[in-house]
Structure 1
Amino acid sequence: MPPVDPQLAGLGDQARALQPRTVALRRALHRHPELGLDLPRTRDAVLAELADLPLQIHLGRTVSSVVAVLEGARRGPTVLLRGDMDALPLREDTPVAFRSEIDDAMHACGHDTHVAMLASAARLLARRREQLAGRVLLMFQPGEEGFHGARYMIDEGLLARSGPAGTPDSAYALHISATLPSGELHTRPGPIMAAADVVRVTVTGRGGHASAPHDALDPVPAAAAMVGALQTMLTRRVDTHQPAVLTVSHITAGTTNNIIPETAFLEGTLRTMSEPVRALLHEEIHRVCRHTALAYDCTAEVRISSGYPVTVNDADEAERVGDLGSRVLGRRRVASMPNPIMGAEDFAYVLREVPGALAFLGACPRGIDPNSAAPNHSNRVVFDEAAMASGVAMYAGLALNALR
């Protein structure tokens, strides 16, 4: 066992004592999920939960964000802790008694647990304010699910809330996972999540009667050829040691069986782990689609919408998160991820500006094999609420450890 750290002593017990409050907030949010950047009900629930704490509250001007600042007893650095708040457009299909009451909206990525854990961590830290030499910046963020909420908050001055230093000295986020053992902490140095871009291609030919394709310019064979050509390009232009995924997941063309359409449409996602590979593939996708279309005497309009950048953990901060996890949760509950994952996360915007780290908190339901559990973003996903006490202790511990 690691030696007892007086700064962190009792954190687990205090987090478990707050568990009824943590669970109550999580379930209230789960019943009433909200999507995107405008989350008035969620924002108000956060404000109500924080109302009795000694915090400076700052509300977003263009989005439903909440920034709460806890000043320590002495001056020192600033640490940022993030909890995202938005849900996903899914109809929930789980057996829990507190399932979503909103049609086609569900907290399927566990952001309700993130909010509840961060709010309880704020309460725990407020009780230990005398131990803090510095400032805690609590970032309650809307719009993580593809809406660039973190970028909006940064543009509105989030990082300037750290005081005269200009930006926080460190930043941390936890992300719950239904496919990791409950209560375990997993992280890694360097890239941990991918950049995500949307690829859209419109192939234009000339419509006509399906019985006389020689009188038309059929865009469908051109579009079909592009799918294969793009996969070949990926394996021939990208180093095998550089992770990259290109998936064409949406194809639309035509209206009936006897009409050759004028256009065909392709849509997919590009995931990369480095900015040079990302830039290369943007160029290659344009080139392959244009030239494949020309081979069929068609044209191709290629649009690539840049999404989140690569989420990169600072090596020292990732090590600190793992070390803290060993002391707060126990050495056996901390694992180093051998590889990054190809999902995307807009905490990347914060980590571009501030040294910090993202870590995954396991919450696989009891009695279920993590390998067969419904994953995040599934309409059947269920999280073990007992894991939230570990998340509360970790959030609070990260601040206490940084602000000694």
Structure 2
Amino acid sequence: MPDLCTQARALQPRTVALRRAIHRRPEVGLHLPHTRDAVLDALADLPLQVHLGVGVSSVVAVLDGARPGPTILLRGDMDALPMHEDTELPFASEVPGAMHACGHDTHVAMLASAARLLAGRRAELAGRVLFMFQPGEEGFHGARHMIDEGLLDATGPAGRPERAYALHISATIPSGEVHVRPGPLMAAADTVRITVRGRGGHASAPHDAVDPVPAAAAMIGAMQTAITREVSAHDPAVLTIAHLTAGTTTNVIPETAFMEGTIRTLSAPVRERVREIVRRVCRYTALAHGCSADVVVEPGYPVTVNDDGAVTTLAALGREVLGRGRVVTMPTPILGAEDFSYVLEQVPGALAFLGGCPAGVEPSVAPPNHSNRVVFDEAAMVSGVAVYAGLALDALR
């Protein structure tokens, strides 16, 4: 294990080159032909069995060890975000309206280099490594699509993964550190869309109309209050209405108002409770204003729950490979969401955060993931490659 960082550092030119090539040509969603081809090119000379997705641009690569044994899954997500890049990097996005603002380009590059490192140490592996290159993490349920297409049975029913791991880079964590915690790590994320229906009319005569705008405004406050009154303060729950629209001009009361937002929770019971609160509060608040409300709650990603044993293994491996001070236990979950949760529902495993804060920048002020100005320290990828490879070597020795 101690020489893994040395080996990862030797692969760093390849890792950086692949990362930058993908960064220049970001793709959004489930269909990422250029990114998929870049991955295939990076893996082409390795002794891997490669399976391509049918309905999505996924790549599943299998490395068989020298002896029989269990299967371990390692994931790297590949998709970008639909946003403009303002980093002024020499390898900045060349695609208008698309940017790798969440670091998935680094995930792909680290996983590909980990595959190369492990291919060179096949003689040490008793079992197989399943490399999961996944599209559509940013709201497109890519992991679920891959599972539906047979990801977990890619090596046959007897070869289903016994452990699954993923790393996610973060620009607000010191570079090269690994942050993890057992149990719930990230939230379930549901989308709520509410249409409030009234009766349009002249803005000077609201008594001759039924105005949906004050009804919508009242709903926002009522939902927030209801959550604080009905959900325990010890059970995190967040509702944010992020989009509200109504009307077309100053002197017309519109017939409808529309709003949408997100619900974030860390347990299934609280998730269902908040959904019920939203439906009930909107319905009766609308009725109190003489309106009606159509409420649609669109289920999103489940809670990302780390297996205690997998976290213990990851933390111990991280300390062995990177040094004791480089692994940090997070005190609380975060309410972002991750579709690696679909994998962790079926395979015990863990997701950890890899620090990627740029040199000379305080993590507290660094532009965060999903910022148009986010920059990741490429040197952190050495740690990521070493940890990915170390997890496989540890599980399959």
TM over 0.5: yes
1:167 deviates by 2.4
* 78, 84, 95: which one aligns with 2:71: 78
Q: Which amino acid aligns with 1:296?
A: H
1:311 aligns with 2:342: no
Q: CA RMSD in A?
A: 0.6
SS at match of 1:112: helix
SS at match of 1:175: strand
* Residue 141 of structure 2: aligned partner: 148
* 41, 51, 61: which one aligns with 1:48: 41
Q: Deviations over 1:75-134 (max 9, x none)?
A: 000000000000001110002110000000000000000000000000000000000000
1:16 aligns with 2:14: no
Out of 36-45 and 156-165, give the one that drifted further. 156-165
Q: Deviations over 1:44-87 (max 9, x none)?
A: 00000000000000000000000000000000000000000000
- Alpha-carbon distance between aligned partners in 2 of 1:187 and 1:227, rounded to the nearest angstrom: 34
* Residue 273 of structure 2: aligned partner: 280
* Contact 2:171-2:366 at 8 Å conserved across structures: yes
- Alpha-carbon distance between aligned partners in 2 of 1:193 and 1:167, rounded to the nearest angstrom: 25
* Residue 374 of structure 1: aligned partner: 367
- Alpha-carbon distance between aligned partners in 2 of 1:28 and 1:94, rounded to the nearest angstrom: 16
* Residue 342 of structure 1: aligned partner: 335
* 132, 137, 149: which one aligns with 2:125: 132
1:166 deviates by 5.4
1:103 aligns with 2:96: yes
Which 4+ stretches in 1 moved above 3 angstroms? none
* Residue 119 of structure 1: aligned partner: 112
- Alpha-carbon distance between aligned partners in 2 of 1:376 and 1:167, rounded to the nearest angstrom: 32
* Contact 2:129-2:392 at 8 Å conserved across structures: yes
Between the aligned residues of both structures, percent identity stands at 73
* Residue 316 of structure 2: aligned partner: 323
- Alpha-carbon distance between aligned partners in 1 of 2:157 and 2:226, rounded to the nearest angstrom: 49
* Contact 1:310-1:348 at 8 Å conserved across structures: yes
Q: Deviations over 1:132-162 (max 9, x none)?
A: 0001000000000000000000000000024
1:230 aligns with 2:230: no
* Residue 377 of structure 2: aligned partner: 384
* Residue 237 of structure 2: aligned partner: 244
Q: Which amino acid aligns with 2:189?
A: A
* Residue 207 of structure 1: aligned partner: 200
Which segments of 5 or more consecutive residues in structure 2 lack a partner in the other structure?
A: none
1:191 aligns with 2:173: no
SS at match of 1:57: strand
- How high is the TM-score relative to the length of structure 1? 0.98
1:379 deviates by 0.5
* Contact 1:162-1:168 at 8 Å conserved across structures: no
Q: Which amino acid aligns with 1:388?
A: M
Which segments of 5 or more consecutive residues in structure 1 lack a partner in the other structure?
A: 1-7
SS at match of 2:228: helix
* Contact 2:2-2:320 at 8 Å conserved across structures: no
- Alpha-carbon distance between aligned partners in 1 of 2:196 and 2:156, rounded to the nearest angstrom: 52
Q: Deviations over 1:180-217 (max 9, x none)?
A: 00000000000000000101000001010111111110
1:165 deviates by 2.4
* Contact 2:70-2:159 at 8 Å conserved across structures: no
Q: Which amino acid aligns with 1:95?
A: E
* Contact 2:79-2:135 at 8 Å conserved across structures: yes
- Alpha-carbon distance between aligned partners in 1 of 2:365 and 2:227, rounded to the nearest angstrom: 30
- How high is the TM-score relative to the length of structure 2? 0.99
* Residue 260 of structure 1: aligned partner: 253
1:163 deviates by 3.1
1:88 aligns with 2:78: no
Q: Deviations over 1:343-399 (max 9, x none)?
A: 000000000000000000001000000000000000100000000000000000000
Q: Which amino acid aligns with 2:357?
A: C
* 153, 157, 164: which one aligns with 2:150: 157
- Alpha-carbon distance between aligned partners in 2 of 1:209 and 1:166, rounded to the nearest angstrom: 68
- Alpha-carbon distance between aligned partners in 2 of 1:250 and 1:103, rounded to the nearest angstrom: 24
Q: Which amino acid aligns with 1:401?
A: D
1:217 aligns with 2:210: yes
Q: Which amino acid aligns with 2:285?
A: T
